[in-house]
Amino acid sequence: MPFTVTGLSPGAFRPLFGLSEAELAERGVRRVKVDAPASAPCRVTLEDAEPGESVLLLNHEHLPVDSPYRSCHAIYVRETARETAVVKGALPLALHRRLLAIRAFDRDDMMVEAEVIEGREAAPLIEAWLADDRVAYLHAHYARRGCFAARIDRGAAGPG
């Protein structure tokens, strides 16, 4: 089953880009300087920020649904992020290189499957779950920290 991995839209974060540290703090956001490779995956570009780059660390509601699974958590966003990443048929490197928690949701936003798996081994699981008619979409989380990574949908296009 073909799949598409989609990052978050940068539109919700643009009002934060370029704000002072004090203005960010008023909003519960921190600007963090990346100090190590592969330590700050951007949820818009679906790439790891480079050492020396600044990213915003903020709380984001990644599952704003009317179900018990409504959820938010901390995420990183690059201030240079301009377009939503859309990756077809494979996991972006930022997900491929990490331990993932993948969660399958039905049309009522109820979780129907969940698994922890190495990103490099996840494609067959993703394809199998998306072939199941009960599954409407998947969410991938970085398992060690628990934060949202990306949405995964069947086919060659992202969420409708």
What is the C-alpha to C-alpha distance for residues 98 and 78, in angstroms, rounded to an integer? 19
pTM of the model: 0.93
80-104 b/e (C-beta count within 10 Å ≥ 16 → b): ebeebbebeeebbebbeebebbbbb
pLDDT in tens, 72-116: 999 999 999 999 999 999 999 999 999 999 999 999 999 999 999
Map tokens 């972006």 to a residue: 92
How far apart are alpha carbons 137 and 159 in whole angstroms?
A: 8
